[in-house]
Amino acid sequence: MSAAKPRRRSDIKVEALPDGSAVLYDQAAKMAYPLTVSAARIWQACDGTRTVATIVEELAATYDASAQVIERDVRAFLRHLDEVHLLAPETEVAE
């Protein structure tokens, strides 16, 4: 698995909601991004200290799905975050 440690941009505002979902707001781009509960957890985990493998392990402990499925979903979400420029520039998201 990749050794990359994804890090979220520090200037992105987060509105956390009581049901565990969250909305991200990129003030520079004036764009809002709603996140599901699981996506919000992945976002929180992107603190620059965890590898993708670690994030997958943490989620696998909570969700009733195979590590393979979770890894696929985590990588897809990280690619999306990268595409909309919500990750710090130095973060490399492997396929």
Cβ atoms of 8 and 90 within 8 Å: the answer is: no
Closer by beta carbon to other proteins, 20 or else 48: 20
Task: Kindly state the tokens that stand for 83.
Answer: 């595409």
Judged by CB, which is closer to other proteins: 1, or 32?
Answer: 32
Minimum CB–partner distance for residue 85 and other proteins (Å): 17
Give the pair of three-digit tokens for residue 48: 């620059």
**37/94 with CB nearer other proteins:** 37
Binding mask 1-40 for other proteins (x = CB under 8 A): ------------x-x-xxxxxxx-x-x--x-xxxxxx--x
In whole angstroms, give the CA distance from residue 60 to residue 47.
18
The rounded distance, in Å, linking the Cα atoms of 14 and 33 is: 10
From the list 22, 93, 17, 26, the residue with the least C-alpha distance to 55 is: 93
Site for other proteins in 44-83 (CB under 8 A): none
Where along the sequence are the contacts to other proteins (CB under 8 A)? 13, 15, 17-23, 25, 27, 30, 32-37, 40
